[in-house]
Structures are given as C-alpha cells and as structure tokens.
Homo-oligomer: A and B are copies of this chain.
Amino acid sequence: MQVFKLTEEIIEHIRELIASDQKQQLKDYLESLHFADIAEITSELELEEAAYLVSILNREKASETLTEVDEEVLEHILENLSNEEIARDLQELDTDDAAYLIADLPEERQTQILSHIEDKEHAQDIVDLLRYDDDTAGGLMAKELIKVNENWDVDTCMKEIRNQGQHVTRVHSIYVVDDNEVLKGRLSLKDLIASPQGAHIRDIYIPKVDFVFVHDTPEEVARVMQKYNLEAIPVVDKMHRLVGRITIDDIVDVIKEEAEHDYQMAAGITEDVEADDTIWKLTRARLPWLLIGMAGGIGAASIINGFQDGLTSFPTLLLFIPLIQSTAGNVGVQSSAIVVQGLANNSIDGALLGRLFKEFLLGLINGLALATLVLMMSHFVFGSSYLESATVCAALVTVIINAAVIGTFIPIFLHSRGIDPAVATGPFITTSNDILGILIYFMIAKIILGF
C-alpha cells in the first residue's frame, strides 16, 4: 500500500531535524506528507516540538493539520498563536472544522478571533455553528452546501451553482428551498442539464429527500445515513429550514467513537482513554470502577461472614464460592452486552416480558448444562455429600437465571429512562451479580442444608 506508515525512525529523524534547526529540510519533508500524517507525527512528539512542526507549515496545511491533532496539542498551539493568526487559519477551513478548532476557547477570545475574519459570511456561519451542542446534528454539520430556490429558472440556477460551488469541496447534492429557506427536495445535475434554460426548478426537482433535525443525536444521524447508504444528509431546524449538511466522513468518526465508548464502559473504563495516555489519566479512568468492584468484594465478605456457622458445618460449600461468583459475573456480562448492542443498533423491539422470558429459558438451559458437570465434580472430586452437591447445583442454576434476567432488564430499564445503557455493563453488572450470586448461594444452602 502506498500509504504513510509512521515508524520510530521517522520520529527520530524529525526530532533530529528539529534539534539541529534544519528548518528547510524539515519543511520539504513535511510538504510531501498528508496533513493527517503530520497530525499523527505530532502525537509522538513533545508539545513544544509539535508546535514548532505546525508553525513551519504553510498556512493551508497548518490549518488542516490542526483539525486532526490531539486535543492537548491543539490547546497548546492555540495558546501560542495570536488572534489574527487563528483567524487566518479559520479562513482556510470549512465552517465545521473552523468551529471545531475554536469551540473550546473562552467565548471572549472566540469573539476577538472572529472579528479578524475578513469574509464576514464565513465568520457568521462559524458563529452559527458554535451555538450547537457537540452532541447534536447541529454540532456535526457544516454550512458549505449548494442550495437553489424553487422559483429560479435553470439559467439562474446554473450561475448560482457555479458561484456556490467555489466554497464546497465536493458537491454531494443540490438542495432545493422555497423563499422561506424551507427544504423542499433535491435536484439532480442530470435533470438540470437536460432541461431548457427557461424551465423552473419547481417543475424539475425531486421532492423526496431524507433529512435530520439540528437537535437529533449524532447516533441517530449515523443510523439513518448508514441504513440508506447516504454520503451526505441535509440538516433542518424546527421550521424545516435548511441550515447545514453532514457528510459521511464525520459520521464514520461518530460510529467508531460510539462503539469504542460502549466497549470501554463494558471493560470498566470511565473516560475515553488510549493506551498512550498518561498514567495519571489512565488511573483516573480505571480507579472508579475498581472501587465499585471493591465495594462488591467487601459486600461479599460481609455475606460470607454472616454465614460462618453454615460454612463450619459444611466446609466444602466454601470451595464453590469462586465458581458461583465468576459464573454469575460472566452470564450477566453476556446478557447485558447483547442488549446494549441491540439498543445501540435500534434492533431491539417487542415486549420486555417476552425478552426476559427468553433470557430465563436461556439461563435454564445453560444452567442445567453447567450444573450437570459441577455435580459430578463436586461429588467425585471434592467429596461433597449429596445434599451439598445438590445445593451447589441448585444455586448455580438459580444464579445463572438471575444474572441473565438482571443483565437483560437493567440496560433496557436505563435506556427507557434516557440513561446510557452502557453504564450497566462491565464491572457494574459483574459486581452486582457477584454479591447477589453469593447471597443466593448461601440462602439456598440454608434452605437445603438447614443451618
């Protein structure tokens, strides 16, 4: 593949060029690279080195590189640039990238920077975009799009498209609006070219067009674009006025981040971290769940402590505590993972009761299969009495069913309350099932063995 591959050697080479101040050589080398590659390089450098690297790029490449660098690199570089310099960067960029670049700066500085942008329309578009929350379609969209009025004739339309086209990197669709800017449909370039110059747009446009609202979530936008294989989708406000468009490359990032977020939650990591983050950030992301797990462990200790008498009379019971506990945890994680994924894909519908009954059956089947094996182990290998073995098996089946049903119920319940169901996966499910599992185990033992 004729694709850039970052190696240790490249980093070393660049560091040497920086250290020995060979600016022209460095410039020539960077010139040959894509801005995404340069951004990748900066994440391996010290902040100062990264800032220097970006500073020697030409304006256009520097601006584009800034849209791809890590947040801390961006923050550091913006701190050291003047408002005029940042304004020049924004001028080079599409409105969505420009808004992203300064979104985290204090509002006062944003205003100062924007006042230095010569193209007032561009500045106004960026201001518009800054209003929207990151977590909405409005926060994802760009202002660059081609739109024509339904009352124009073909001739006016062609002139306008040529004019608007200068600001748009890639024309995905031509959108048609009425005098109030309300989205009416889209126009095929083929139909436009094939129509007589005097024809009106309202007679040739296609009135069917998918769109999303500015307040829709990125996940919803991703679902629609993915389902209908769209490369771009128009965004409208509550009055159905066309305010922007989202392209598939922004959505690819959303899909990826969403899947990774769910995965990290399931693995008990609270912040979005990467392997190369600092130890401090990694600790902060991991310790909270470990504390919850520890609370579960202390809870389990209390339960065992409460049943000391039983354990003294029936010592082999204690051997199976880890088995009961880990099985409960595993079953809970499996059930919740399937539900969380189904909810993320919108593929879960139908009655909750039916789903819980299905998990009950699943738990029963898996439970009986495992219990049969454990029955033999406990009786023949560990010399438990018949009653003790029966206790372990009955507890195992009950615990598995319980974990399966809880693992299914909790994510669905959270989702229905508008809470991200992913918080219910991983350590949360494992911990609650740990405690419940051990409690059920001892309760059943108390009933069967009567201590």
Q: Is the CB of A337 within 8 A of B1?
A: no
Closest-by-CB residue of B relative to A305 is B319
A384-414 near B? 1/0 per residue, CB < 8 Å: 0000000000000000000000000000000
Q: Is the CB of A434 within 8 A of B322?
A: yes
Which of A54-62, A83-91, A205-213 has 4 or more CB atoms under 8 Å from chain B?
A205-213
Q: Is the CB of B327 within 8 A of A297?
A: yes
Given contacts A286-B334, A337-B264, A366-B290, contact A210 B3 (CB under 8 A): yes
Q: Is the CB of B227 within 8 A of A347?
A: no
Shortest beta-carbon contacts, A-B, top 8: A297-B323, A259-B259, A267-B337, A300-B322, A275-B342, A301-B319, A229-B249, A293-B330
Instruction: Give the residues in chain B near A438, CB-CB below 8 Å.
Output: 322
Q: Is the CB of B298 within 8 A of A323?
A: yes
Q: State which size class the interface on A falls in.
A: 35 or more
Distance (Å) between the CB of A287 and the closest chain B CB? 6
Instruction: Give the residues in chain B near A323, CB-CB below 8 Å.
Output: 294, 296-298, 300-301
Closest-by-CB residue of B relative to A273 is B338
Q: Is the CB of B333 within 8 A of A373?
A: no
A sample of 5 cross-chain residue pairs with beta-carbon separation below 8 angstroms, ordered by A number, consists of A8-B350, A231-B248, A248-B249, A293-B327, A305-B382
Indicate if A246 sits at the interface (CB-CB under 8 A).
no
Q: Is the CB of A2 within 8 A of B349?
A: no
Q: Is the CB of B170 within 8 A of A275?
A: no
Instruction: Give the residues in chain B near A329, CB-CB below 8 Å.
Output: 326, 329, 430
- Per DSSP, chain A at the interface is helix
Given contacts A322-B321, A323-B300, contact A330 B211 (CB under 8 A): no
Q: Is the CB of B327 within 8 A of A325?
A: no
CA distance A248 to B229 in the complex (A): 9
Distance (Å) between the CB of A404 and the closest chain B CB? 9
Indicate if A138 sits at the interface (CB-CB under 8 A).
no
Q: Is the CB of B3 within 8 A of A224?
A: yes
Indicate if A282 sits at the interface (CB-CB under 8 A).
yes
Partner of A347, one of B3, B264, B268, B274: B274
Indicate if A421 sits at the interface (CB-CB under 8 A).
no
Q: Is the CB of A267 within 8 A of B434?
A: no
Indicate if A313 sits at the interface (CB-CB under 8 A).
no
Closest-by-CB residue of B relative to A225 is B252
Indicate if A149 sits at the interface (CB-CB under 8 A).
no
On A, residues with C-beta under 8 Å from B are 1-3, 6, 8, 34, 36, 40, 170, 210-213, 216, 220, 224-229, 231, 248-249, 251-253, 255-256, 259-260, 262-264, 266-269, 273-276, 279, 282-283, 286-287, 289-291, 293-294, 296-298, 300-302, 304-305, 308, 311, 315, 318-327, 329-331, 333-334, 336-339, 341-342, 345, 347-350, 355, 358, 361-362, 365-366, 369-370, 373-374, 377, 381-382, 425-427, 430-431, 434, 438
Distance (Å) between the CB of A413 and the closest chain B CB? 15
Distance (Å) between the CB of A390 and the closest chain B CB? 17
Q: Is the CB of A286 within 8 A of B255?
A: no
CA distance A253 to B256 in the complex (A): 11
Most central of A216, A266, A267, A273 by chain B CB within 10 Å: A267
Q: Is the CB of B373 within 8 A of A342?
A: no
Closest-by-CB residue of B relative to A315 is B308
Closest-by-CB residue of B relative to A37 is B227
Partner of A322, one of B297, B308, B336, B358: B297
Instruction: Give the residues in chain B near A348, CB-CB below 8 Å.
Output: 275-276
Given contacts A275-B348, A338-B269, A370-B290, contact A320 B333 (CB under 8 A): no
Distance (Å) between the CB of A392 and the closest chain B CB? 10
Extra 6 A-B pairs, beta carbons < 8 Å, given A259-B260, A294-B374: A251-B252, A256-B259, A264-B338, A275-B342, A283-B362, A294-B373
